[in-house]
Amino acid sequence: MMKPEDMFANMQHDPDDPSPWHALYLDQSTPIRPSAKTLWLTNSSSNSRQFVLPFARVFSKVLIVIFQVIKALSPIDWRASRLLHQLIYWGLKYFVKKEANYLILRHFWLGSEILAFVGGNVPGVKVPMNPLRPKNLEDLKNHLFLTHDLNLFNFVINLNKELREKGLKIKPLEAPDFSMLTEGEFDIEMPKDGFFNFIDLETAIELYTPVYQFFLTDNDFWRATNSLQLDETIGVYAATILNSHQHLVLVNNKHPLVSLITLSAGFRLVLHGLSTEMGHWFLVMKKLEQREKMKSA
C-alpha cells in the first residue's frame, strides 16, 4: 500500500489542473515536521473534510447556541468530565481516522514541551509543570483535554506571579536550553483504523466542541475557549527568549485581550493545533542550529 508521503511526493503536476495538496506538500515557507505535515494534508484532502465538515460546522454552531441558552437558564452543575473523556475516547477510537488521532495525541506532547522550553529558559524562576504525554487513545480518558486547558492558564499565572514578585523579566538568551525538546518522533502508538474510521481531524473537532460544552460547566467551556487566546502569549515568551520575533508570524489565534465568542471555537482549535505544530518544529530547528554552531566553534 502506498504511504501518504509517497502519494504526495509522487503526484504528477498538471499545469492545467494543479493539485493544492501537492503545492502545500512541496511548499517550505512555514516550519512543520515533515511527518506531521503529511498526516495533516492526508486529513485535509479527505472526502470527510470536503463533504462532511460543512454540515458538521453548521450543526455544531446550532448546538453551541442551544446549549448556551440551556446552561444560562439552568441551575444544574453540568460538569461530567469523566463521562466526557470516555465519550471522546470512544468516538475517536471507532469513528476518527488514525492520522487525526495521531495528531491529537501529538498535540499534548508538543504543548508540554513548548511550556517546558519557556519555563526552563527564564533564569531565576521555577514554574511547576504538569507535562501530558499520552501514548495511546486510552490515556486520553484521564481528563487530558480539561487538564491541557488548565495547564496553560496555570503556567501563565505561576510564571508571571514569580516574575512580578522577583522583579524579573523574560529576556533573550545567547544560548537557550533546548534539552526538553524531542527531535525525533514521540513515543506514541499509531492508532488503527476500523471499518467506520472515516472522520477527519477538523470534522471531529467541530462535532466534539458542543459535546465538550455540554458535559462541562459554562465557566469551564468559556475558559477552554479563552485558552486559545494564549497562543500569542506563549509565542511572545518563546520569541523573546530566542530574540526572534518573526516566530510570531506562526501564531494564528492572536490578540489575547480580545476574547472571541464560542461559536468559532472549533475552527480556532484547529488553528491552535497547527500553530503548536509549527512552533514546536521552529524550536527544534533552533536546537539543531545551535548544535551545528557548537560543532563548528
Distance, CA of 4 to CA of 42 (rounded, Å) = 7
Instruction: Give the distance from CA 123 to its chain's centroid.
Output: 27
Distance, CA of 9 to CA of 99 (rounded, Å) = 18
What's the pLDDT at 76? 77
The C-alpha cell at 152 is 496553560
Sign of the torsion formed by the C-alpha atoms of 163, 169, 170 and 174? negative
- Return per-residue pLDDT of the chain as tens, 297 residues: 446 566 787 888 889 899 899 999 999 888 899 999 999 999 999 999 999 999 999 999 999 999 988 888 887 777 899 999 999 999 999 999 999 999 999 999 999 999 999 999 999 999 999 999 999 999 999 999 999 999 999 999 999 999 999 999 999 999 999 999 999 999 999 999 999 999 999 999 999 999 999 998 888 888 888 888 889 899 999 999 999 887 676 777 777 777 777 888 899 999 999 999 999 999 999 999 999 988 887
Phi-psi region of 186 (alpha: psi -120 to 50; beta: other; left: phi over 0): beta
- Indicate the pTM of the whole model: 0.93
Distance, CA of 191 to CA of 197 (rounded, Å) = 10
Distance, CA of 185 to CA of 75 (rounded, Å) = 46
Query: What's the CA angle centered on 10, arms 6 and 14, to 5 degrees?
Result: 145
- Sort 248 into a burial class: Cβ within 10 Å, 0-12 / 13-18 / 19+: middle
